[in-house]
Amino acid sequence: MDPGNYTGISNLQLLGFSEEPELQPLLFGLFLSMYLITVFGNLLLILAVSSDSHLHTPMYFFLANLSFADICFISTTIPKMLLNIQTQSKVISYAGCITQMYFFILFTGLELFLLTVMAYDQFVAICYPLNYIVIMNPRLCGLLVLVSWILSVLDSLLHTSMVLQLSFCTEVEIPHFFCELNQMIQLACSDTFLNNMVIYFTAMLLVVGPFVGILYSYSKIVSSILRISSAQGKYKAFCTCASHLSIVSLFYYTGLGVYLSSAAPQSSHASAVASVMYTVVTPMLNPFFYRLRNKDIKEALMRFLDMSALKGPIILGLKKCPGFKSPKTVPNIEIL
């Protein structure tokens, strides 16, 4: 078969976790709950950061971007899986599979880069506290996020375009709940040597590179914390980076574990189950790690929720006032 000739590949099969009918409602309820918690939790965090001027700092700017990436990341895989369970169908179109793979690679890369940028932010905050505002200026913060997006898009375009050159057999069954890059390459009928080489090269450059950067940042952070004289100062510095370090550890440990073990065909089902950790569990835990351990986030959320609760009764009361036509006609009303 000619490379690049995928004639007859209009649909693929996503095998998912289990074919037993009695487990489908359980899987649907479980993943729907996790998806809604992830979207709602990260959306709340974004709203809290954007609505509170006290949180307009580099750390929370990166955190809001990470929450947005988490929502997009989980939305590339879970909705399609829920739809397939609900309709009792495992079919995904070839175009849909390529699109899903493109966005999955994009937001995976974006997560990695944002976690690295946040590690650098922690490094500057703890090791150079007096110069923090000067170093982490708005221009640099915006540039770091922009570069993260550009690198992620280019990496995703590279892998997706190379998969489009592969040929596949007429019936392709993917032992996963989404179109994962390694699985697609393993199922190709044509030579995949170049694809594998590109994966290894980009992994060294865009995965191992950021990981080394995170390790270097935290080695300097730990060294600086140990030099702090007071126990309270050490505890505060540790709490500042504990949430981020927890998410980094979970994401890298599960993600790298899945990809390192994906070469073994017999581990395909186990790989799909393990993938849930970094594709679903990690985005779901992000807002909880940062919110529950962060006093500023808690206070911002309380202010945001209190403000939302007060707006309704105040607007309803204004509407009952004689001569009230539109909120636009009310001069500068502040809610204290």
Per-residue model confidence (pLDDT) at position 22: 83
Question: Tokens for 277?
Answer: 């950790």
pLDDT at 149: 97
Total tally of structural domains belonging to the chain: 1
- 321 lies in a domain? no
Residue 76 falls inside a structural domain: yes
Question: Coil, strand or helix: which one is 92?
Answer: strand
- Does 113 fall in a domain? yes
Q: 241: closest CA among 121, 67, 128? A: 121
88 within a domain of the structure (yes/no): yes
- pLDDT for position 52: 80
Report the distance separating Cα 76 and Cα 100, nearest Å.
6
pLDDT for position 335 = 34
Q: φ and ψ at 262, to 5 degrees?
A: -70, -10
Element holding 174 (H helix, E strand)? strand 173-174
The pLDDT score that the predictor gives to residue 32 is 96
Indicate left, alpha or beta for 188 from its phi (over 0: left) and psi (-120 to 50: alpha).
beta
Instruction: For 8-20, give the DSSP string.
Output: T-SEEEE--S---
Residue 3 lies in a domain: no
335 domain-assigned: no
Closest Cα partner for 220 from 137, 115, 121? 121
The segments of the chain whose pLDDT lies below 70 read 1-8, 256-270, 291-296, 298, 300-301, 304, 306-336
The answer as to whether 265 is a domain residue is: yes
**What domain range is 285 assigned to?**
11-298
DSSP 8-state assignment for residue 278: I
Q: Is residue 319 in a domain?
A: no
* Domain CATH code at residue 292: 1.20.1070.10
Confidence at residue 2, expressed as pLDDT on a 0 to 100 scale: 45
